[in-house]
Structures are given as C-alpha cells and as structure tokens.
Amino acid sequence: MSFLGFIVVAICLIGFGFWVGYKVSYAVMNRVTWGFYRWDTGIFGYRPITETTIIHTNEKVIMGFILSTEDIPAEGMTLNKYLNGE
C-alpha cells in the first residue's frame, strides 16, 4: 500500500470513528430526562421552568437531568459512588 493509500484509509477510519461516537452520544443523551431550572430569590433556590419560559440576560439558569432513585438501596448511597458507576 502506498503512503497516499495509507493516508486515505486513516482519514476514513478517523471519520468513521467520529461518526460512531456522535451517534452513540446522541442516543445516550436522548435517553436522559432533562430539566431546566431558574434561580428564584423568593425561595432562595432553583425552580423548574417550562420550555416556553422566556429567559433574559444575566439570569441564573441551569440545565440538569433527573436521576432515577429506584435502584438506590434503602440505606442510601453517596453521590460519588453514583458518579463512578459503582
């Protein structure tokens, strides 16, 4: 195989790897239930907002996903164990 053929194959493999990674991450991220929250000074915390809510400049808004607690043992667990996949 010539050097040019090697470069073409390498570019194709890299492109295929990026495509597979994109598809896998898209599938994983779409399975998560996302929520949007805006800071509310009346309760000194974040309050859920709807998709039609208008967000203005300099507002504190976060996006997060809802964790399912069905598989957590009755005695509880630390968040560190959940993040590490233990």
pLDDT tens-digit profile of 60-81? Answer: 999 888 777 888 888 887 777 5
What pLDDT, on the 0 to 100 scale, is given for residue 19?
94
pLDDT digits (tens, 9 = 90+) for 9-58: 999 999 999 999 999 888 877 787 888 999 988 888 999 998 889 999 99
pLDDT band at residue 86 using 50, 70 and 90 as cut-offs: low
**This prediction's pTM:** 0.52
Return the number of other C-beta atoms located less than 10 Å from residue 82's C-beta.
Answer: 13
Please name every residue paired with 15 in a beta bridge, in sequence order, or none if there are none.
Answer: none
Which alpha helices (DSSP H) does the chain contain, by range?
Answer: 3-30, 79-84
**What Cα–Cα distance (Å) separates residue 47 from each residue in 32, 60, 65?**
19, 11, 14
